[in-house]
Chains A and B, each alone.
Chain A
């Protein structure tokens, strides 16, 4: 084959189909090819077929991961909010945050729909306590309606290699689930079914230990009996996680009996 021929064909994005299907392209090439795919149904179908082949190359390498991985994945999933499905009224806004994996995965990058906007406010949020506590899944969506500014930080804890899940019971009612990462010195706290306090009292979360008693945050009871997620960072050796019902507005140090005390 003549070099000139190759050059000319090289400008034809379609020759990149094989390289694209194997992720063997640079980021600019990938973007260029995906623009091409978006307007070429036949190409998208070819890529789909090639991906079936590469998938077999992948499954041929199967090796079981450590048993601990499953625990981490299930725990993290339980606390990870799912993306809503794409709805077919696509507005033309540019997507972009999530890398599009070609036409077949274009839905990934679609902007969120208004109807789901409230539920979608938080990117990675949280609170599949439904799973942890075995609630029925149909009601999960309603339970997961809280936006969190700290979702990135939360996601980082949930997906940390050493993330570990603990649960505890609150005196007076309610269940607490935490996912903690020692390497990140942080934990994510969620609670279910905390009792409503009289107006003069608010729940306050604490870290208590040799390093002193530090307030983490006041807890606002969420909708549907779900509270959190909130993040507690700056964990130190010997810390306990504690919950008290303080005078409304909170206190600098715990002044009331602990309703929860978990050694971290």
Chain B
């Protein structure tokens, strides 16, 4: 055992979203199957809305972006390639990218905005986001296994929507260090969560 406390990987399952089903449904959606899209919506809408709202904050804008993301799933279902990752990752990557793009296009981030925003972002927010379900508990526990700098980097970048340069500036750490911490942190999360890859 290393000096760093490292929880055993969680069993690699399909997760709460049932990712294997999701992949099959997305393949049906690619053929124009509206019933499958209905099921995909039910399966992913809360997660998409959750992460989009986490980044954007404003609920009305978050619903707009959520709608865009789901329509993109409908429109581009034929582009999903199961060999390149899980269906959940495909959808969530689209969702997060869209949310971040919206924030950056709307917000000409001034130093002041950054400073006020940061006060309420870090760990508490994750704790708040992470309710009591098993999935949430896993994620919370794995975030807890990161070093403080890793955790803050991930939280500010992923939930806060900041660039690594902004994160470096917020934390007063060189950008090279932040880049490295971000990568290390995700690798560790990946291993802790027992996700394939």
Contact = CB atoms under 8 A, between A and B. Distances in A.
Given A15-B180, A60-B136, A70-B41, 9 more contacts: A22-B96, A55-B88, A55-B93, A56-B15, A83-B75, A107-B81, A138-B31, A159-B68, A161-B67
Interface string B46-76: 1111110110000010111011101100111
Range of interface residues on chain A?
Answer: 35 or more
A259 interface: no
A105 B84 CA distance: 8
B157 A24 contact: yes
B53 A57 contact: no
B163 A137 contact: no
B195 to A, nearest CB: 4
A26 B62 CA distance: 22
A44 B83 CA distance: 12
B17 A57 contact: no
B186 A82 contact: no
Contacts of B84: 44, 48, 103-105
A16 B190 contact: no
B23 interface: no
A21 B187 CA distance: 11
Given A15-B176, A50-B187, A137-B33, A55 B182 contact: no
Nearest to A73: B70
Given A22-B158, A57-B154, A62 B88 contact: no
Nearest to A3: B174
A103 B140 CA distance: 30
Contact of A56 (B41, B177, B189): B189
Nearest to B97: A23
A63 B44 CA distance: 10
Contact of B79 (A16, A21, A86, A137): A86
Interface of B: 15-17, 30-34, 37-38, 41, 45-51, 53-54, 60, 62-64, 66-68, 70-71, 74-79, 81, 84-86, 88-97, 100, 129-130, 135-136, 138-140, 154, 157-159, 161-165, 167, 174-187, 189-190, 193, 195-197
Question: From DSSP, what is the main secondary structure of chain A's interface residues?
Answer: helix
B18 to A, nearest CB: 11
Contact of A70 (B45, B97, B158, B197): B45
A191 B91 CA distance: 32
A51 B186 CA distance: 9
Given A10-B179, A23-B97, A101-B94, A18 B50 contact: no
Contact of B140 (A60, A76, A107, A130): A60
A54 interface: yes
A9 B34 CA distance: 48
A76 B63 CA distance: 14
A23 B41 CA distance: 24
Contact of B50 (A61, A72, A77, A137): A61
A84 interface: yes
**Candidate in B164, B185, B186 with the most chain A CB atoms within 10 angstroms:** B186
